[in-house]
Chains A and B, each alone.
Chain A
Amino acid sequence: MTVLSLRDLRITYSTQGGPVPAVRGVNLEVGTGEVLGLAGESGCGKSTIAGAVLRLLPKSAKIEGEILLDGQDVLALKPGKLRALRWAGASIVFQGAMHSLNPVQRVGDQIAEAMIVHRQAQEKEARTRAGDLLQMVGLPARRIDDYPHELSGGQKQRVMIAMALACNPSLVIADEPTTALDVIVQAQVLRLMKSLQRDLGLSMVFITHDLSVLVEVSDRLAIMYAGKIIEEGPAEQVFHDPKHPYTEALSAAFPEIGDARFRHRPSGLGGDPPDPMNIPSGCPFHPRCPKAFDDCPTHEPALYEAGEGRRAACLLVEGVRAPATGGAG
């Protein structure tokens, strides 16, 4: 079963400087109980996709294509239905979500509010459930009467996760949920999210730039560059045996401790992620690509089959086009 399906999604922001294409034709599917990891650097369009699924983008964003959530066309929803979709259809845990808690409202009331607004529970029942949810995310139920300032960063992020689960959504989107947390707390929160996902059979889209985190929690990975998906496949395969040179570089940015290849040899790419206003011709990655050859500046690669269940947008993918020297990326 497919929970979320994006079909040729294109999102363009109109700005004073002209239209900025943030997402340029993305096709993605998330199955029931599946965790899809969406990786990429700042400006690659990954958070824009998250915002589009919940229709949280500003008016200046023009969305084309299709977003189907449980078969429902999200882009065609009327305001009333849209409100029902948020939290209950899909919920989102933001980066630095701990700052999005209301500082003058008890956390239990904030969790209960989501359920009451969505008419999923009466006040009393909602409060009991809020306590249960807190326990589920590893906080004592008595914390229900705490104010946000009484909780640590990791605890607040747990409250946000409880809130995201309050209305039993079919999809949870986590946008950099652990980026602002300390290493050990990050590991605790990741472990919690993964165990909740397994126990409840949640479908998730997990967004971060940190590939090493993604490979730990995801079933499948999709790597974005300049508004497009450039590689997709089973998480461990994509991380350990990347087919796209960009994925290779991202993966090398998070070397495994003990890997002699990286000892005293930090590896990175020259240049910077492209400006969405000024995307290079042909393969958008070619100016930074260590393996670029003559065809790259003129031929934009599609997502080619690159092994079982794998796709990569690189002309070097076997059978597509061979450069004068060297083998497949």
Chain B
Amino acid sequence: MSTTPAAATGEELVLGPPVLEVRGLEINFKGRGGLFSKKLPDAKAVDGVDLTLHRGEVLALAGESGCGKTTLARAIMGLLSPQAGEVRFEGQPLGRNLREYRRHVQMVFQDPTGSLNPRKTIYEIVAEGPRVHHISHGPDGESEEDLVARALSRAGMRPPERFFGRYPHELSGGQRQRIVIAGALVLDPTVIVADEPVSNLDASVRGEILALLMNLRDELQLSILVVTHDLGLAWTVADRVAVMYLGRVVELGPAPEVLLRPRHPYTKALLDVVPEAGGMDRPILGGEPPDPTRVPPGCRFHLRCPVVASGRAAQLGIEERCRSEDIAITESGEDHMAACHLVELGEAP
């Protein structure tokens, strides 16, 4: 966990023990067609990702749509099986223990309305997790009702009993998202994977849900992986940020480092398009949006890279390597890493 939130740039990052480890993960989707139409090539949605989530850490996984961030999240949930690599939870690789694993790692989806069964009461919805896992009592002998009440109240639905008999449509968007979170909390998870947890909510309500996630992290030492396209959100909640491009993590580090001193030209490009006053004069990344069926050779970003396009890469003598050398990010123990040849030269993008 990090400390001293007031001095954002002088923040100290203290990480707990690893909880979830992703190692060399690859996930391909088969190309469609083939019988009557042109066979489309396979899509490399996740193309060699290493990532570690630590106890009590909030890690933001950022990138454009199509970068593989949701696929990675689904693989972490065990909803997709990888072609290569593995996901380890508390040191154990995912495999036959999936059922047990899903108690400890819970997912919160983007659309609270779509993920709640409209015909079930709030109580039934929250109690579904324990029932699926055949848990009728808590570790201290609590009844199912106690467990549901505790989860609801942890999610900020107080007093919980008032909501037991109500239906999702009677609640507001923010409350529905709290129910989804309660449904995750009822199983006492270690990890929560939240895929765009606030993007479907009204702007004024978002802060409350994010504050709830932050509190849960602090009180329950939960580890939270937040999948988002919004770097402003990453700034607000994340301890570390991982930026994905075309199936790879291209930059990883403490949030203030990555967001204020980006080392990868792609991260810089994403930061340049965050809307703000007077932002109309900043450069915008051109080129084709990333297509996972056609990963370019060399650095996968070189075709769109402003450093290559401006000729700066050539001046620095790295252009040839950008075009031909596939560069990966590796966890070398260093805090802030980027998969870019500029880093070796100590140059900023």
Contacts and interface: CB of A to CB of B under 8 A. Distances in A.
A210 B208 CA distance: 17
Interface stretch (B37-45, B92-100, B228-236): B228-236
A101 interface: no
Given A209-B203, A262-B236, A263-B8, A188 B284 contact: yes
B2 interface: yes
B6 interface: yes
A273 interface: yes
Nearest to B172: A272
B275 interface: yes
Given A216-B275, A266-B237, A272 B174 contact: yes
A262 B235 contact: yes
Interface residues of B, number: 49
Interface in B222-262: 229, 231-232, 235-237, 256, 259-260
A217 B279 CA distance: 9
Interface string B282-300: 0011000100000000000
A216 B282 CA distance: 11
Interface in A120-136: none
Contact of B214 (A182, A252, A266, A288): A266
A88 B8 CA distance: 51
Contacts of A42: 202
Most chain A Cβ neighbours within 10 Å, of B175, B231, B232, B256: B232
Q: Which of B7, B11, B64, B276 has the most CB of A within 10 A?
A: B276
A236 interface: yes
A272 B207 contact: no
A152 B289 contact: yes
Interface of B: 2, 5-9, 11, 64-66, 172-175, 202-211, 214, 229, 231-232, 235-237, 256, 259-260, 269-280, 284-285, 289
18 contacts: A41-B202, A190-B280, A210-B203, A212-B276, A215-B277, A250-B204, A254-B203, A254-B232, A257-B271, A259-B235, A260-B8, A262-B235, A262-B236, A264-B5, A266-B236, A268-B204, A272-B205, A273-B202
Question: 7 closest pairs, A vs B, by CB?
Answer: A268-B207, A266-B210, A187-B273, A272-B172, A268-B208, A264-B5, A253-B203
